Structure 1
Amino acid sequence: MIKIYNRKTKQYEVEQVAGLSYLKWCYESPIGKSITELLIKKKLFSKLYGSFCDSSTSKKKIRPFIEEFNIDMSLANMKLEEFRNFNDFFARTLNAFARPIAQDRDILISPGDGRLSAFENIDLDKLVQIKGLTYSLKELICDDKVAKEYDGGVCLILRLCPTDYHRFHFVDDGICGETKNIKGKYYSVNPIALERVPKLFCQNKREWCIFKSENFGDIIHIEVGATCVGTIIQSYTPNVKVKKGYEKGYFKFGGSTTILFFKKDTVKIDEEIVHQTSLGYETKVLMGEAIGNKFK
């Protein structure tokens, strides 16, 4: 059972996990763990499933998925019958009113929908994956020189579930550099997997870049792939100025993760989110929602 914190109700909710039985089998049973290591974590498995989700045959999965997880389709730009396949639906865009953006330049917004963990005054060699398991920023981005600049800063981990809106956005006005690609495996990023696979984020496929934001300094923006996320699409144009809330890219099918790193004394995350993280709970957030402020 995975509990997440709801900022609006001030209550904990039990997360409705897509494929819960499958995840438990893959990461908790002896046979499942063996098959995960032999097949499921590998690129071929995710690529094959991704091809299915791109096919017209996968369209029949859309309506049952919407009904099972009570997804509000009134927020989407396309109607159910307009989707050509499951990935069309999964990477759907939302209408202009679905995700209002906090416009104050000193307010930090969430880059996407998901479950947020926030860590302040970070130790670059002991970043928290989940209680008891750590990794280093150097391992995550494979660049020691850049990593050293973020010691004592802030790390935000936004975990997206298959039921979430799967596009990620810029948190401020600024200019984003070229994306660097790091090949890797395709473990699930669900807490069930995070508890059992050491340095999972450093093992999975990932992409990262430096976003030179106008109000929060240079931000490391990382997208981590996962099981059945064979493709991370970067839809932005490098080295061209963007506005706060503009789309940066999107994930195809599967749960995924966006990670942001801020330098020391550039941003202050809402105490409520930091406190819930310290208790071991992720906080439910939506893209454009205020999650912090410029450090003063």
Structure 2
Amino acid sequence: MIKYFNRQTNSYEIEQVAGDKYLQWTYSSPIGMKILELIIKKKIFSSMYGWFCESKLSRSKIQKFIDEFNISEDEFSNPKSDFKNFNNFFTRKLVQEARPINYNKDILISPGDGRLLAYENIDINKLIQVKGLTYNLIDLIQNKKLAKHYSNGTCIILRLCPTDYHRFHFIDDGVCDEIHSIEGSYYSVNPIALEKIPKLFCENKREYTILYSKNFGDIIYIDVGATCVGSIIQTYTPFNPIKKGEEKGYFKFGGSTIILFFEKNKIKIDSDIIEHTKKGFETKVHMGEKIGLKS
């Protein structure tokens, strides 16, 4: 059972997990863990499932998914009849009104939909995965010189569930450099898996870039893949000027994670998000929503 805080309802809610029984069995049983290590965490498994989600055969999943998880079709920028396969639906664009963006230059927005954790004054050698499990920034980005710049800074972790909007966006005006890709495994990023796999984010396939932002300093922007994520697709052009709210890319099918690192004294995260993080709960947010301020 995964409990999170919903800002819109001002209450704690229980997450409806896609594939809950499968996740519980895989990450909690001896046989499941063996199959995980032998097959499920491998790239070929996620690639094969990605192939299925690109095929016409997967169209039959669309309506079932919409009904089961109560997804609003009013937000779709295109009618569902336009979707040729499940990934077309999964990576759907939304109408602009569905995700209004706060363009105030002093306001920090969420880069996507998901459940958010935030940590201030971080120790880059002991970043929190879950209570009792930590990892370090040097292993995550494999760049010791760069990692040192973020000591005592701020880290936010946005977990995207399969039911979420899966395009991610820029949080400020600026320039973004090229992608640095790090190969890895394809573990789930669900809290069920985070409690079982040490240094999971450092194990998974990931891509990072530096966003040289106009108002919030130089930000490490990390996109983490997961089980059944066919691909991480980047849609921006490196070194071209970008605007707050513009699309950076999207994940094909699967739950995924975005991790942002900010330098010391650049931002101040909203107190409710910090408070719930300290209590061990994620906060549900939407792309474009205010999550903090410029320091």
Tell me which interval the TM-score lies in, with the shorter structure as reference length: over 0.9
1:23 matched residue in structure 2: 23
Deviation at 1:145, TM superposition (A): 0.4
- What secondary structure sits across from 2:220 in the alignment? strand
Q: Distance in 2 between matches of 1:169 and 1:135?
A: 26
Q: Residue type matched to 1:92 in 2? A: R
Partner in structure 1 of residue 273 of structure 2: 273
Counterpart code for 2:16: Q
TM-score, normalised via structure 1 length: 0.99
Q: For the residues of structure 2 that align with 1:168 and 1:80, how far apart are their CA atoms?
A: 21
2: distance between equivalents of 1:39 and 1:73? 35
Does 1:201 find its partner at 2:163? no
Matched, 1:118 2:109: no
- Report how far residue 81 of structure 1 moved: 1.1
Query: Is the aligned partner of 1:259 residue 2:259?
Result: yes
Following the alignment from structure 1 to structure 2, what is the Cα–Cα distance between the partners of residues 8 and 234? 30
**Letter paired with 1:83:** F
Aligned partner of 1:34 in structure 2 is 34
Structure 1: distance between partners of 2:92 and 2:131: 33
Q: Percent identity?
A: 63
Residues 141-189 of structure 1, C-alpha deviation per residue, up to 9 Å, x if partnerless? 0000000000000000000000000000000000000000000000000
Deviations 1:4-24 (A, max 9, x none): 001122210000000000000
> Who is 2:83 aligned against?
83
The separation in 1 between residues aligned to 2:129 and 2:213, in whole angstroms, is 26
Name the counterpart of 1:169. Answer: 169
Structure 1: unaligned runs, 5 residues or longer = none
Residue number in structure 1 paired with 2:65 = 65
1:135 paired to 2:132: no
Paired with 1:130 and 1:106, the residues of 2 have a C-alpha distance of 30
Residues 204-263 of structure 1: per-residue CA shift (max 9 Å, x gap): 000000000000000000000000013000000000011100000000000000000000
Question: 2:100 — aligned with what?
Answer: 100
- Structure 2 counterpart of 1:246: 246
TM-score, length-normalised on structure 2? 0.99
* SS of match in other structure, 1:97: helix
Give the Cα–Cα distance (whole angstroms) in 2 for the partners of residues 85 and 205 of structure 1.
25
Q: Distance in 1 between matches of 2:20 and 2:109?
A: 30
Match of 1:149, SS state, is helix
Whether 1:157 and 2:157 are equivalent positions in the alignment is: yes
**Aligned partners of 1:208, 1:28: CA distance in 2, in Å?**
31
- Give the root-mean-square deviation of aligned CA atoms: 0.5
Separation (CA, whole Å) in 1 of partners of 2:105 and 2:83 = 36
How many correspondences in the alignment? 295
Task: In structure 1, give the amino acid aligned to 2:237.
Answer: T
Per-residue deviation, 1:78 = 1.3
Q: Which amino acid aligns with 2:109?
A: I
Aligned to 2:224: 224
Which residue of the partner structure matches residue 145 of structure 1?
145
- Counterpart residue type for residue 204 of structure 1: N
Query: Gaps (5+ residues) in structure 2?
Result: none
Runs of 4+ in 1 over 2 A off after TM superposition: none
SS at match of 1:260: strand
Q: Secondary structure at the match of 2:116?
A: strand
